[in-house]
């Protein structure tokens, strides 16, 4: 298993090296080292991949607890971004404290303990009931429903959905013991590749916008080309999973579609909040949620597909 992970890591570094070399040539030959929106954006995406791959694999080699800690920190940053953009009143402060210092750590503690029956309902049941109760104790009824639901939605996206990624490490699959880490890497690689490939296909051949009011950069050709290309990539990486090649293609297709739809939903939320990015933690790519938006929607679906059909 360690050899497989190490081989995948070296393979990804090789791909990133080639991609960085191509963007450098394009910047030098095509853009003449002058600002170029498409090339500069692609360069920023590849640079972000360098950082993400190095960080993820460092934590992967440190073991399960380190991976759970990594996604705890990611959820913390994502929750902070989300809650910093919504309308907050003084009466919400107790609920906010509960979000960061009770709900968030408990969710990841339950995942670390592998208490499936609890972590899957802790946020959508108990936390969703707790937060409006805490907010109501202040007696502040101004925009109460809006404030409460936005806080609940922030927890659902930033903590509950993201926590399904490290939860893959706890899945027990006959003949695939200890392979949860490979499933996690498979999910991240395919969904993030779909995002990049949709961008590349869209810029090369895309003309017709698929959702101009939500995400002006997404095109029909970009969507179809990116999703199918990433699904074929999933098929080629079936050896990382308990899937057959065609099962890997089908699963890849589902998670890429969910990633695309998740990106649209998160774009709609940003438009409603009248912001371009969730934050500025990642140079050229906004905040943590800007990089995790696709995974937020694909991770729960992927987890339950694998658990229902294979675990």
Q: Where does the pLDDT of residue 60 fall: very low under 50, low under 70, confident under 90, or very high at 90 and above?
A: confident
CB 287 within 8 A of CB 279: yes
CB 116 within 8 A of CB 41: no
Domain boundaries of the chain, sorted by first residue? 1-62, 71-170, 176-311
* CA separation for the pair 270, 196 (Å, rounded): 20
CB 183 within 8 A of CB 306: yes
Higher pLDDT, residue 27 or 249: 249
Contacts of 194 (CB under 8 A, 6+ apart): 226, 227, 229, 230, 256, 259, 260, 294
Task: Flag whether pLDDT at 282 surpasses 70.
Answer: no
DSSP string for residues in 61-105: HH-HHHHHHHHHHHHHHHHHHHHHHS---GGGHHHHHHIIIIIHH
Task: Flag whether pLDDT at 87 surpasses 70.
Answer: yes
| Cα angle: 116, vertex 264, 293; to 5 degrees | 45
* CA separation for the pair 42, 57 (Å, rounded): 22
Q: Which pTM value belongs to this model?
A: 0.91
Q: With left for phi above 0 and alpha for psi between -120 and 50, is residue 284 left, alpha or beta?
A: left
Higher pLDDT, residue 232 or 205: 232
| Cα angle: 85, vertex 87, 89; to 5 degrees | 130
102: exposed, middle or buried (Cβ count in 10 Å: 0-12, 13-18, 19+):
middle
* Residue 257 pLDDT: 96
Min mean pLDDT across 56-60, 202-206, 218-222, 307-311 is at 202-206
CB 100 within 8 A of CB 147: no
Percent with pLDDT over 90 in the chain: 48
pLDDT in tens, 8-55: 788 888 888 888 888 888 778 777 777 777 777 777 777 777 888 888
* Residue 284 pLDDT: 55
**φ, ψ dihedrals at 88, nearest 5°:** -120, 140
Contacts of 203 (CB under 8 A, 6+ apart): 38, 42, 222
* Residue 139 pLDDT: 82
* Residue 54 pLDDT: 87
* Residue 235 pLDDT: 95
Q: What mean pLDDT comes out for the span 151-156? A: 94
* CA separation for the pair 299, 311 (Å, rounded): 16
DSSP structure class, residue 162: H
pLDDT in tens, 172-182: 888 888 888 99
Min mean pLDDT across 16-25, 110-119, 149-158, 295-304 is at 16-25
* Residue 1 pLDDT: 65
Higher pLDDT, residue 157 or 175: 157
* Residue 48 pLDDT: 78
Q: What mean pLDDT comes out for the span 123-151? A: 90
Min mean pLDDT across 30-44, 147-161, 201-215 is at 30-44
In which residue are the tokens 């922030």 written?
154
* Residue 142 pLDDT: 86
**CA distance from start to end of the chain:** 18
Task: Flag whether pLDDT at 285 surpasses 80.
Answer: no
* CA separation for the pair 178, 188 (Å, rounded): 18
* Residue 3 pLDDT: 72
């Amino acid at each position: 298993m360690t050899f497989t992970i190490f081989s995948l890591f070296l393979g990804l570094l090789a791909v990133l090296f080639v991609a960085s070399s191509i963007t450098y040539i394009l910047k030098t030959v095509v853009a003449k080292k002058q600002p170029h929106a498409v090339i500069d954006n692609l360069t920023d995406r590849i640079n972000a991949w360098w950082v993400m791959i190095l960080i993820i694999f460092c934590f992967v080699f440190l073991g399960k607890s380190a991976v759970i800690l990594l996604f705890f920190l990611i959820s913390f940053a994502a929750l902070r971004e989300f809650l910093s953009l919504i309308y907050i009143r003084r009466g919400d402060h107790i609920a906010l404290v509960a979000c960061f210092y009770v709900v968030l750590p408990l969710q990841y503690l339950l995942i670390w303990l592998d208490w499936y029956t609890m972590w899957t309902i802790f946020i959508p049941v108990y936390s969703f009931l707790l937060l409006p109760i805490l907010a109501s104790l202040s007696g502040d009824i101004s925009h109460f429903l809006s404030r409460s639901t936005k806080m609940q939605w922030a927890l659902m996206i930033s903590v509950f959905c993201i926590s399904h990624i490290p939860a893959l490490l706890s899945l027990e699959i006959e003949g695939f013991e200890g392979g949860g880490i490979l499933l996690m890497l498979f999910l991240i690689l395919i969904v993030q590749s779909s995002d990049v490939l949709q961008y590349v296909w869209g810029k090369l051949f895309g003309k017709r916008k698929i959702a101009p009011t939500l995400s002006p950069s997404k095109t029909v050709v970009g969507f179809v080309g990116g999703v199918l290309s990433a699904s074929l990539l999933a098929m080629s990486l079936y050896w990382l999973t308990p899937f057959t090649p065609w099962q890997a293609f089908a699963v890849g297709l589902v998670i890429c579609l969910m990633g695309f739809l998740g990106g649209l939903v998160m774009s709609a939320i940003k438009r409603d909040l009248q912001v371009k990015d969730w934050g500025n933690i990642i140079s050229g790519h906004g905040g943590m949620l800007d990089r995790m938006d696709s995974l937020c929607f694909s991770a729960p679906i992927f987890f339950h597909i694998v658990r229902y059909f294979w675990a």
